[in-house]
Amino acid sequence: MRRYLRLVRIFVGATLSAQLEYRANFLGAVLASLGEVGVALLGISILFGQPGVTQVGGWSFREALLVTGFFMLTEGVISVFIQPNMSKIAEAVRTGNMDFTLLKPIDAQFNVSTRNLNVLRFPDLLIGLGLIGYAASGLEVTPGGALAAAVLYGSAVVIVYCIYLGLSTTAFWFVKTQNVTELFSGVFGAARFPVAAFPVPVRFVLTFVLPVAFITTVPAQALTGALGGGLALASPLIAAALFLGTRWFWRYAVASYTSASS
Amino acid sequence: MTGDRGGAGDAAVRVRDLRKGYVVHEKEPGFLGSLRSFVSRKSRVVEAVRGVSFDLAPGEVVGFLGPNGAGKTTTLKMLSGLLHPSGGEVRVAGFEPGRRENAFLRQITLVMGQKQQLIWDLPALDSFLVNQAIYEIPDAQFRATMAEFTEVLGLEGILKKQVRKLSLGERMKCELAAALLHRPKVLFLDEPTIGLDVNMQESVRAFVQDYNVRHNATVMLTSHYMADVTALARRILVIDRGEVVFDGDLARLAEQGGGGKTVRLQLRRPATPEELGRFGSEVRVDGLSAELTVPRALVSERAAALLAELDVADLTVEDPSIESVMASLFGARAGQAGQPERTPEPA
């Protein structure tokens, strides 16, 4: 375990130094972050902006803003930690550089998941946390609620990671998978609103088929104390099941790896 | 060398009846073909490696030759654990490579001349530090190895340049260093000198040789450049269409392949090809120099006849170049020494 923490430190150091090589990129990344938050805020201001609307699906403006905050935070987690690594999987399979990863005496899944991070999208994390803080300041939040939200958000990150890894792992057979992760991004866009804002059938899909509800709505509900025990328990269980499932899938993919010829 | 794992006299590499079949998709050329194959793919199994067996002793250097698509890279990938064999048995350093145990991976390396593991935007030294952490190389050993590699490969001054700014040769040196930093006991080198100029090829060769001697490492090497093989390996394995067609030393390969020796003549008086044709085949005349191939068993007899019947200033007898041996082994047109572009793609 300590060995892997040390490796993370080394990997982070290397990827940070590599990105400092390209300073001009930074401005573009900041603009992208501001664009994201703009779109998200525009969405809920349209929902709540009509005269006389104070609630959507039982969610007040502040509560909905909380969901937007978790959405932005998750966007940040994806663009800083998850996507930079996952997009490299398909590339490595296509070029054959996956060979080097598989020849290293460390866990290959750990290796592909921790080698890169996109420091430029770091502001997304701050914007997300800021939105959550602002929204929560106008709501009643108990310490127990905050703790539950933190734990459930942890599960949410695991769920997102697993979905991304599962989709990216298909690269071992399909080689190019960019469109598959785009598909996830599209569906994930629904998470910027509370699931209650959607019609019942869509809500069902977003909760049980694609567990998008667990990523933003569930932690937000936990923070405001509006979460039932069933969903609170379901989230970590789903995260654990997905983690074991994708780990099995990853190993299966590696075992059937055919490697690009030189 | 048939002992089981753990014995002192173990082979470093032991391969028995190794097989690998691939499922490949076939596609007609052109857009319509692509469309057809997108909708329904036709596939068949190609046997890339068909019952290969050999042993390598610890410290042995073996040249692994064969035409393109003969199964060399597939074999190396099975030996390093990247591909699972479809049949047969492999043992490398006492391990079953396909299981990819960490203890096994620490003892081997695979260098692929056409792929790179160095981090593109950072100096090579950063990649070395990453590998140091991955292989848990103690600091003292890391410094000693770096000092050794820096000296033998001449890395001085290029370690702190970004990899993307290095020349191909410099980058390959760094790739080699990165791949051998953990001091593996078994080296699989797939085209380590491809694309390098002659000087760089030589320094890569010198480095591999030095490492082999210093660390008693087993080396299995494929290369397009016969000079790599003749300089490094005493033993040659030739593979064709997935089967080992030759396993033995260089000299024996020359015998088996060509069956003849090359006689070079320096004449005092010009001779016609017809005149020389009585003494051997493949006669080439260029002014006062001439060259012909003579069956191995008749060399001394024919040389004596040549000296007696023609006005010869100088006569030398040489083994045929490995290029021409390979060419005749694979039924290609006979290659000519000094014309490397005729090399029958041995890797």
* Three-class SS of chain A: CHHHHHHHHHHHHHHHHHHHCCCCHHHHHHHHHHHHHHHHHHHHHHHHHCCCCCEECCEEHHHHHHHHHHHHHHHHHHHHHHHHHHHHHHHHHHHCCHHHHHCCCCCHHHHHHHCCCCHHHHHHHHHHHHHHHHHHHCCCCCHHHHHHHHHHHHHHHHHHHHHHHHHHHCHHHHCCCHHHHHHHHHHHHHHHCCHHHCCHHHHHHHHHHCHHHHCCHHHHHHHCCCCCHHHHHHHHHHHHHHHHHHHHHHHHHHHCCCCCCC
Mean pLDDT of the B245-256 span: 82
Among B38, B75, B76, B122, most A C-beta atoms within 10 A, so best to mutate, is B122
Amino acid found at A199: P
Which residues in B have their CB inside 8 Å of a CB on A?
A: 22, 73, 77, 80-84, 100, 102-103, 105-106, 108-110, 112-117, 119-122, 126-127, 129-130, 133-136, 162, 190-191
State how far the Cα of A120 lies from the Cα of A161, in Å rounded to an integer: 19
Interchain proximity A105–B102, CB inside 8 Å: yes
- Give the chain B residue whose CA is nearest to the CA of A95: B115
- How close is the nearest chain B Cα to the Cα of A12, in Å? 10
CA-wise closest residue to A78 among A148, A133, A159, A135 = A159
Interchain proximity B119–A14, CB inside 8 Å: yes
Task: List chain A residues with CB under 8 Å of B102.
Answer: 105-106
Amino acid found at B30: G
State how far the Cα of A250 lies from the Cα of B80, in Å rounded to an integer: 20
pLDDT for residue A178 is more than 80: no
Question: In the prediction, which pLDDT does B2 show?
Answer: 42
Q: Between A113 and B257, whose confidence is greater?
A: A113
Q: How many CB pairs under 8 A join A and B?
A: 74
Residue with tokens 């391990």: B95
CA-wise closest residue to B88 among B99, B78, B80 = B78
- Give the chain B residue whose CA is nearest to the CA of A14: B126
B276 by DSSP, 3-state: which?
helix
Interchain proximity B81–A95, CB inside 8 Å: no
Q: At B125, phi and psi to the nearest 5?
A: -55, -35
State how far the Cα of A132 lies from the Cα of B1, in Å rounded to an integer: 68
What value does the mean pLDDT of chain B take?
A: 85
B219, β-bridge pairs:
B61, B187
Looking at chain B, list the stretches that DSSP marks H as alpha helix, in order from N- to C-terminal side.
Answer: 30-39, 72-79, 102-105, 124-135, 139-153, 168-180, 198-215, 226-232, 250-258, 273-277, 299-309, 322-329
pLDDT for residue B342 is more than 70: no
Residues 6+ apart with CB under 8 A from A188: A74, A78, A160, A212, A215
Tokens found for residue B131: 């590998």
Of B82, B115, B122, the CB nearest to A18: B122
Enter the DSSP assignment of B162: B
Q: At B92, phi and psi to the nearest 5?
A: -130, 125
Its sign, for the CA torsion B150, B162, A91, A126, is positive
Of B80, B103, B130, the CB nearest to A10: B130
Tokens found for residue B126: 């950063």
State how far the Cα of B91 lies from the Cα of B8, in Å rounded to an integer: 15
For A98-149, write each residue's pLDDT tens digit: 999 999 999 999 999 999 988 888 888 998 999 999 999 988 889 999 999 9
Interchain proximity A262–B126, CB inside 8 Å: no
Interchain proximity B81–A18, CB inside 8 Å: no
Which of A8-12, B8-12, B121-125, B201-205 has the weakest average pLDDT? B8-12
- Give the chain B residue whose CA is nearest to the CA of A261: B73
Mean pLDDT of the B275-289 span: 85
Given pLDDT bands bounded at 50, 70 and 90, which one contains residue A262?
A: very low
Of B73, B121, B130, the CB nearest to A21: B121
CA-wise closest residue to A79 among A17, A21, A36 = A36
Of A3, A18, A262, the CB nearest to B73: A262
Interchain proximity B110–A103, CB inside 8 Å: yes
Task: List chain A residues with CB under 8 Å of B190.
Answer: 262
Task: List chain A residues with CB under 8 Å of B128.
Answer: none
State how far the Cα of B23 lies from the Cα of B83, in Å rounded to an integer: 13
Interchain proximity B80–A262, CB inside 8 Å: no
For A63-79, write each residue's pLDDT tens digit: 888 988 999 899 899 98
Q: Between A148 and B45, whose confidence is greater?
A: A148
Per the CB < 8 A criterion, the answer to whether A245 and A237 are in contact is no
- How close is the nearest chain A Cα to the Cα of B231, in Å? 24
Amino acid found at A45: S
Q: At B208, phi and psi to the nearest 5?
A: -60, -40
Question: In the prediction, which pLDDT does A160 show?
Answer: 93
B222 by DSSP, 3-state: which?
strand
For B50-77, write each residue's pLDDT tens digit: 999 999 999 999 999 888 888 899 999 9
CA distances from B22 to B41, B47, B86, B251 (A): 15, 6, 9, 35
Query: How many whole angstroms from its chain centre is CA A209?
Result: 17
Its sign, for the CA torsion A85, A91, A92, A93, is positive
